[in-house]
Amino acid sequence: LQKSLSEIFGVDKYSRARKEVLTYMFSRPMQMALYFCTGVLDDEALFHHYALNVPFYTHFTSPIRRYADIVVHRLLSASLGARSPIKMEKEAIQKQADHCNDRKMASKRVQELSADLFFSVFVRVRP
């Protein structure tokens, strides 16, 4: 698959952009991760990470990147005793998680539409 894709990308000034768009389009059907507050879920099976096959999983990146990551850093710091506990009810944390999920989905949709537009132009102008 990789070899045939590399042939499609070509070597012109748009080859890198084609590679990014097509690679993205192939990964698009994968299920997107969602933020949630563990305190509002009764079923611990929902904490499972399918690809890593671990029963409990949390993910975060640098706290300068996304607000959800700031919240995870703060909660983790509080649970380790490195800072005072966050004075928020679990429902309020879930409400923020829902908002972050909504914004992430909207961003993903714009990205998909942009990729679709580029791909349409690419197909139209490619001999």
pLDDT tens per residue across all 127 residues of the chain: 667 767 777 777 878 887 777 777 777 666 677 888 888 888 888 888 877 888 888 877 777 778 888 888 888 899 899 999 888 899 999 999 999 999 989 988 898 899 889 888 888 887 6
Whether residue 5 is found in the same domain as residue 45: no
Work out how many domains the chain is built from and give that number: 2
Q: Is the pTM of this model over 0.75?
A: no
Phi, psi of 126, deg, nearest 5: -75, 130
Q: Answer for the pair 18, 122: CB distance below 8 angstroms, yes or no.
A: yes
The helix-helix angle for 90-125 and 15-27 (nearest 10°) equals 130
Whether residue 18 is found in the same domain as residue 65: no
Whether residue 1 is found in the same domain as residue 17: yes
